[in-house]
Amino acid sequence: MLKINYMIEAKGVIDELNCHLGKAAAMAKIDLPEVVEEVIEIQKNNFLVSYSLNNKTKITSKNISFLENKEKKYKEIVGKFDGFILQGGSLLGAEIHIARAVNRRLFRQVTYCSATGIHVDGVIFDYLNKLSNYLFILSKYINHRLGVEEIKVYGEQ
């Protein structure tokens, strides 16, 4: 596969991720309007990731701090959980889980870019990794706020 194909694939995955986040934002308008603006902010940040893949780094530690602060806030609300849950819960929580899975695919695609010699700024990896963590805790927060119990595979019950 040509190096440039990895870049094209990564940009396509960013588009797919933003589509799922857009759907989630539309769904959140009804039950969780406080989540809408931050999801839109993440969609905008994902465009910065796309620009950054062209060696014009736009994503910064400030974007990562945004995710860290939101993640910390939601963890305080939902509490700590060590273990695994089945993806799903509410429809909105499930959509966020899909976005997280797409984000993990994006991380792998960006790794392929880097492995084939395309320069990828380390901040992109940090951002995508933190985005995955954030989306996981966001899904837990959404399910918590909507009163939907998650199915725990194992861990603290």
pTM of the model as a whole: 0.89
CA dist list (Å): 118 to 2, 47, 62: 11, 18, 24
Residue 3 has pLDDT above 60, yes or no: no
Coil, strand, or helix at residue 48?
A: helix
Q: Detail the DSSP E strand segments found in the chain.
A: 83-85, 152-155
pLDDT tens for 112-156 read 999 988 888 899 999 999 999 999 999 999 999 999 887 677 655
Radius of gyration of the chain (CA): 16
Instruction: Give dist(CA 132, CA 147) in Å, integer.
Output: 23
Q: 33-52 and 122-145 helices cross at what angle (nearest 10)?
A: 160
Q: What is the mean pLDDT of residues 3-31?
A: 91
Q: Report how many domains make up the chain.
A: 1
Domain that residue 49 falls in:
3-155
Q: What is the CATH number of the domain that holds 54?
A: 1.20.1200.10
